[in-house]
Structure 1
Amino acid sequence: MAAGLDPLVALWKEWGIQMLVLLSLALQVMLIVTAEIRRRKDSGVLRVVVWCAYLLADTTAIYTLGHMSVTSRSPQHELVAFWAPFLLLHLGGQDNITAYSIEDNRLWLRHLQSFVVQVFAAAYVLYESSIFSGGGRNMLRQATILMFMVGVVKYGERVCALKIASSSTLSGKNYRSFGRVYTENLALWVLPYEPKLLEAHLLLNIPKHLLKGPLPLVTVGRKTDNDWELMYNVAEIQLSLMHDVFYSKTELVHTWYGYCLRIASLPATVTSLLLFRRVSKKDAFSKVDVAATYVLLAGAVILEITSALRIMFSTWTYTHVTSPASLVRHNCGLRYLMANLFVMFGELIRYAIRKVGGMPARYWSGSMGQHNFIFMCSRCKDSRSSKIARRMGREDWWNILIYTSSSVPVSKDFSKLLKEQLRKSVGVNEENPDHIQNSRGRAALKKRGLYEELSWSVGTELDESILVWHIATCVYLSWYQGEHKHLPQLAKVTQELSNYMMFLLVSRPYMLPDNTSRQRYIELCNRVIFHLNYSSAEDLLRIIRDYGDTLSAGRSLPFEYIEYLLPTYEKTRTGEDKVNTVTFDKASQLGAKLISKELETPNANMLKLISQVWVEMLCYVGYRCRPDSHARQLSNGGEIATVVALMMEYLKSDILQFKKEEQEAELGLP
């Protein structure tokens, strides 16, 4: 076997460095492409690809630099030392991805240490090489110095970007720095092409304060009514902008330093390519090494051109050019005309890309994850794969992976529901339990006069409320579809909201307030899967509804349901197998209550009530989610909970204002 591996070992010793540097370049190309996709798409496969590329990119470059000190002195491979600056350039990463996760920003000191070590390693490789020790190759030496300077600056820029993203921009300043900042009137400078985009940039301190803070509170210098659709789209755009703040070099690039560096780095890279082209024709280097060097230089030039084009057509650059302060400092009329021409050209480019399907209209994933408890229980009960996972001790992980359905697009009707609920909190004290940030469904029940009767469903802990209302919603919608033979659009949106809240509880509990636990969910799975006898989702829903009717009526259990339910209670009393049934009992009873209220009062419109409860619960979750959790999800396409939190912050800051007619209609005024 050892003899069979000898050719591979020989190949690796001869061409291993060449393969590694080309792999390093390929990983950079992969990162620059996938980084743009991940901000708009929540995909497990994409996360794995980006994660592998991100880790391998640094590991490959560092490993290769460590071995160059030996290989670069080989007379057959004199060009190897010239590749060291390219590895520094690769370690500097691409402008659109500096961090894979939010935790990477906090490790900027570790990256600083790595920066110092790798720069010294690259300098040692060059010092020991024939490029600097020999004579007669001034052009190659000049090309090496240029690339070394670009590589060091780009690598250092990445470390600075990580540091900036890890802390507030006002951290350590005077307390007066945290006062209110009055911005210019948008009507003076918003161009007709991108009003949403410019306002998103102008109000960017709002999400920064919410997710990163502390920052100055923004007060807009105007008192006109804001259009709901405009502000909702602004919040969506700001998810993409905050992704740039946390996971890219954006805040560093769009400064005078960043612009100067890009102006200098591209000519320096092109000059290095031209210098090497003249050297390669004269000196007898290895043909493979020459080809690899051309690939590295061409790749560096292409990546620099891509970076320059991205900056040219970036919304950050456009906002910087057309900002009121910039227009005042310079020739306002000329700059305004140039800004219009600039944005028109950029809009044509973006429109063409969208037409060919290269860029979606939304600036984030625009989707909600879905997890339906009834669907999961009905499928996994007799599933062979779930039984195998159970024996391996991985049942919960497997069921979440398999039975969490793909995300669904956020419906436009959701925006209307959110608008309706936020409008009801205008003028309500923020400390009031009925305010949207505190309610969790309380206000919706009170308005219908059902709070006294159903307060137990929203007054408990959040995880139990989500479970109870999710199961009750499934029971109600199943009954509704049976009665009316179809589900209206409101019912579909309500089901999606219910499934989304369950998705957060089951798959992303870190997006919920700190005191929320998955323990009740696990207990409920145990209760339903192992202690109830059913064969389908419809069968399970029928059992829950009938059991809820029994509990609501205060009657003893019918004989035909003893085989389903009584053994659980008997084992609980004897202490043989204690199972928590409180959550299941509440969910069953609430489902029966919602149906009975609909039957008693046909005009009750319980479907609308259920949707309002879910919107209030989502607002509660979004506003109380930890800033780090909001920021973490920006790298995976973002969450609708973050959009909701931003809309609530706009309402709190008086930036979002509803029209007087809408307020009067809400208050019942003539």
Structure 2
Amino acid sequence: MGADWVATVALGNLAKIQANHENASSKSYSRLQVFWAPFLLLHLGGPDTITAYSLEDNELWSRHFLGLIVEIGVALYVFFRSFNNTALTFLFIPVFVAGIIKYGERTYELWCASNRKFKEKLLSTNSMAENAMRMVMGKKEEDFSEIVLMEETKEISEGQSLDDDEFNNSIDAAHFLFKRLEYLFANLILGFNDRIRCYDIIKKHCYDIIKKHKPYKKAFELVEIELGFMYDVLYTKAKLIQTKRGFLLRAISFFSSVSALIAFSMVIDFHVYHQTDISITFLLLAGAVFLELYAFTIFLLSDWTKLWLQKHRVPKIISSFFFHRNNKRWSESVAQHNLITFCIGDIQGNFSFVRKLPHLGKLYEEYNPHRFLSRKDLDGLMQMIFQQLEEKADKIKDNYTVKLCKEELGHRGDHVLEKYEKFNDLGWSTIDLEFDESLLLWHIATDICYHDDSDKHLPDACNLCKQRKISKQLSDYMLYLLVLCPSMLPQGIGEIRYKDTRAQLIQFLKREKSVAMKEKEVARKLLEKISKRTITQSILSDGCELARELQQETDSERKWKMISEVWVEMLTYAASHCGWREHGQQLWKGGQLLTLVSVLMAHLGLSEQYNAKEEFYLV
């Protein structure tokens, strides 16, 4: 992250050293140090696997371009100041060329991934979207029919017109979906045919092609692969490397580095220079070659290579080597944050000396305690999410309108309560409150019910235990998003409400002298002692009241099935109301479950970014 600053300082020092050395002997030593200047450009380009650390870096591409010009200028100044007819001077040239290529590639990729350029490129390759933009900017209403006709007959994204049967594996299907996902990320619309096509691919690929696997696993696998493609486009050089131009630049850069290493080993008189400087130079040359080989190896094992092999029908004896390697495309874990656990830790004074420090104390409060569930722990959760999304998608499959889609995506627990005939009793906890407020009190209620029912000794494989586990997982995950990723949830004052609720719970624990209590004991004390009559009405009291009403349900399995479905519906509500830019921001951190759900929803037709038969919208 400090590469730009380090390179600027180092180049400045090299220029200063060159200017200060006047005698011939010192110049001979400094010439080897001057040879290091192009390496700074080479390493400023960074590895192929990363160009940006956040989406904001892409928007600042112009600063990197200015830095490129300045660094090249200083490197040339250093070069010409030390120019002579020695072999070392001419070795400067191939390394300098490789440095310009690497740094130029990074700047170019940042520019291509910037929001404006990303959208312009999609519009330039899709006449339907471009015409739609013109219409919104002032074209006549009569042109509407022309646009709809174009949308019905023209496939987008590089003229793909594959049949579903031509998708021989997940890579092919995921790439087709990814080309549609790019338009969603750019906040553009997709055509009616694309909605039907994406829905059919998800259903057909998950159920028919690979019958040995469970459909929800295949669905999430497709989403993970295409999010891997999206990450590469936004944060790496993969999009450039896969082109002929990128391959040519990579070959020039590699052979320049290798030739410089070989030439330096053969033609340089090592007795003229300091041994330390020679060792540093060898290290820089070997490092440059190693990074090139490493980047090439990573690309060979990437999904882009698998896609290329499939497209060019490479014999299976060769392609099987790559397809049998599973890439980790998602962090495959979900963070958990629990209110009661956090407050108990605060009361017990864990790491109290860290908490008192000005900045570290704040970081500790934000990031501790958190748990991370592995993919294995999430198997039942992903299955339930997929099943509920299927039900929603099937409702609007044959009668899609933006209005109907909005109504379906607008449910955040109320629809489930109606289904279980509990809306009259519990409806106040959903639609009558802000989303963040509803999330907090359902988290409190779920935690209390979870611990209150923990004495029921049931086998882990039973349906009741699975529903309790799913409810707990989603409850803690949604609270994690509220605390650490609030921008991914609908706008509100959730962070303030969370801090107020946390302070009130800590006050309750101190009053009850609950220093040595476990989560189960705290939950039961809350259920017993807090009510709207004992304290001022708050989220904490409402959460306890909701827990009491839930615990009145005699059928435990029905109760936990309802709670888990409420949480899934709240998750899908949050996913549909989160902007794609916020989803993109999370990709460099390993990705969020919420992002996977959003993409899966869009491919199942649960998105407002589709053009209906009789309606036309531009997001």
Query: Structure 2 vs 1, CA of residues 215 and 265 (structure 1 numbering), >3 Å: closer, same or farther?
Result: farther
Map of 1:506 onto structure 2: 483
Q: 1:642 offset after TM fit, Å?
A: 0.4
Counterparts of 1:628 and 1:61, CA distance in 2: 31
* 1:642 to 2:595 alignment: yes
On the 8 A contact 1:88/1:152 being kept in 2, the answer is: yes
Q: Which amino acid aligns with 1:585?
A: S
Alpha-carbon deviations, 1:383-415, whole Å to 9, x = none? Answer: 265598479698765433332334444511112
Q: Which amino acid aligns with 2:81?
A: E
Q: Which amino acid aligns with 2:386?
A: K
* 1:169 to 2:118 alignment: yes
* 1:340 to 2:316 alignment: yes
Give the one of 250, 255, 260 matched to 1:262: 250
Map of 1:583 onto structure 2: 539
* 1:375 to 2:316 alignment: no
Counterparts of 2:58 and 2:199, CA distance in 1: 36
Map of 2:172 onto structure 1: 198
Query: Structure 2 vs 1, CA of residues 322 and 402 (structure 1 numbering), >3 Å: closer, same or farther?
Result: closer
Query: Structure 2 vs 1, CA of residues 230 and 517 (structure 1 numbering), >3 Å: closer, same or farther?
Result: same
Q: 1:610 offset after TM fit, Å?
A: 0.5
Map of 1:403 onto structure 2: 369
Q: 1:321 offset after TM fit, Å?
A: 4.8
Q: 1:526 offset after TM fit, Å?
A: 1.9
Q: Where do residues 385-400 of structure 1 align in structure 2 (5 Å cutoff)?
A: 385=351, 389=355, 397-400=363-366
Map of 2:133 onto structure 1: none
Counterparts of 1:291 and 1:456, CA distance in 2: 72
Q: Which amino acid aligns with 1:427?
A: K
Give the secondary-structure state (helix, strand or coil) at the position aligned to 1:77.
Answer: helix
Q: Where do residues 217-616 of structure 1 align in structure 2 (5 Å cutoff)?
A: 218=194, 220=197, 223=200, 225-226=203-204, 227=206, 228=215, 229-281=217-269, 284-323=272-311, 335-336=312-313, 338=314, 340-347=316-323, 350=325, 362-383=328-349, 385=351, 389=355, 397-409=363-375, 411-425=378-392, 426-428=394-396, 431-432=403-404, 436-459=408-431, 460-484=433-457, 488-531=465-508, 533-534=511-512, 535=514, 536=517, 537-547=519-529, 565=534, 568-569=535-536, 581-597=537-553, 599=554, 602=555, 605-616=558-569
Counterparts of 1:516 and 1:622, CA distance in 2: 18
Q: 1:223 offset after TM fit, Å?
A: 4.9
Map of 2:103 onto structure 1: 155
Give the secondary-structure state (helix, strand or coil) at the position aligned to 2:248.
Answer: helix
* TM-score (normalizing by structure 2): 0.81
The farther-off stretch of 162-171 and 432-441 is 432-441
Counterparts of 2:107 and 2:305, CA distance in 1: 22
Alpha-carbon deviations, 1:119-144, whole Å to 9, x = none? Answer: 00000000001xx2x23x2x433321
Give the one of 52, 57, 60 matched to 2:6: 60
Give the secondary-structure state (helix, strand or coil) at the position aligned to 2:409.
Answer: coil
Counterparts of 1:541 and 1:466, CA distance in 2: 17
Q: 1:269 offset after TM fit, Å?
A: 1.6
Counterparts of 1:458 and 1:308, CA distance in 2: 52
Counterparts of 1:345 and 1:385, CA distance in 2: 49
Query: Structure 2 vs 1, CA of residues 390 and 148 (structure 1 numbering), >3 Å: closer, same or farther?
Result: closer
Map of 1:116 onto structure 2: 69
Query: Structure 2 vs 1, CA of residues 388 and 298 (structure 1 numbering), >3 Å: closer, same or farther?
Result: closer
Query: Structure 2 vs 1, CA of residues 63 and 395 (structure 1 numbering), >3 Å: closer, same or farther?
Result: closer
Query: Structure 2 vs 1, CA of residues 390 and 519 (structure 1 numbering), >3 Å: closer, same or farther?
Result: farther
Alpha-carbon deviations, 1:52-111, whole Å to 9, x = none? Answer: xxx233322221111111224542232111111111101111100111122111111111
Counterparts of 1:313 and 1:478, CA distance in 2: 46
Query: Structure 2 vs 1, CA of residues 306 and 177 (structure 1 numbering), >3 Å: closer, same or farther?
Result: farther
Give the secondary-structure state (helix, strand or coil) at the position aligned to 1:146.
Answer: helix
Query: Structure 2 vs 1, CA of residues 636 and 221 (structure 1 numbering), >3 Å: closer, same or farther?
Result: closer
Q: 1:160 offset after TM fit, Å?
A: 0.5
Alpha-carbon deviations, 1:461-507, whole Å to 9, x = none? Answer: 11111111111111111222224466613211221111001111112
Counterparts of 1:128 and 1:93, CA distance in 2: 27
Give the one of 25, 28, 36 matched to 1:83: 36
Map of 1:92 onto structure 2: 45
Query: Structure 2 vs 1, CA of residues 311 and 543 (structure 1 numbering), >3 Å: closer, same or farther?
Result: closer
* TM-score (normalizing by structure 1): 0.75
Counterparts of 1:69 and 1:393, CA distance in 2: 39
Query: Structure 2 vs 1, CA of residues 298 and 604 (structure 1 numbering), >3 Å: closer, same or farther?
Result: closer
Runs of 4+ in 1 over 6 A off after TM superposition: 390-396
Alpha-carbon deviations, 1:10-65, whole Å to 9, x = none? Answer: xxxxxxxxxxxxxxxxxxxxxxxxxxxxxxxxxxxxxxxxxxxxx23332222111
Query: Structure 2 vs 1, CA of residues 346 and 496 (structure 1 numbering), >3 Å: closer, same or farther?
Result: same
On the 8 A contact 2:586/2:592 being kept in 1, the answer is: yes
Q: 1:286 offset after TM fit, Å?
A: 2.4
* 1:71 to 2:17 alignment: yes
Query: Structure 2 vs 1, CA of residues 186 and 86 (structure 1 numbering), >3 Å: closer, same or farther?
Result: farther
Query: Structure 2 vs 1, CA of residues 344 and 392 (structure 1 numbering), >3 Å: closer, same or farther?
Result: closer
Q: 1:187 offset after TM fit, Å?
A: 4.9
Q: 1:436 offset after TM fit, Å?
A: 4.9
On the 8 A contact 2:306/2:323 being kept in 1, the answer is: no
Give the secondary-structure state (helix, strand or coil) at the position aligned to 1:368.
Answer: strand
Query: Structure 2 vs 1, CA of residues 595 and 188 (structure 1 numbering), >3 Å: closer, same or farther?
Result: closer
Alpha-carbon deviations, 1:435-469, whole Å to 9, x = none? Answer: 55221111111111111221111111111111111
Counterparts of 1:440 and 1:370, CA distance in 2: 20
Counterparts of 1:216 and 1:170, CA distance in 2: 13
Counterparts of 1:411 and 1:653, CA distance in 2: 23
Query: Structure 2 vs 1, CA of residues 647 and 149 (structure 1 numbering), >3 Å: closer, same or farther?
Result: same
On the 8 A contact 1:146/1:268 being kept in 2, the answer is: yes
On the 8 A contact 1:89/1:150 being kept in 2, the answer is: yes
Map of 2:138 onto structure 1: none
Counterparts of 1:308 and 1:397, CA distance in 2: 38
Give the secondary-structure state (helix, strand or coil) at the position aligned to 1:526.
Answer: helix
Counterparts of 2:357 and 2:320, CA distance in 1: 61
On the 8 A contact 1:434/1:442 being kept in 2, the answer is: no
Map of 1:48 onto structure 2: none
Q: Which amino acid aligns with 1:58?
A: D
Alpha-carbon deviations, 1:530-577, whole Å to 9, x = none? Answer: 1453312333322322357x66xxxxx5xxxxxxx3xx44xxxxxxxx
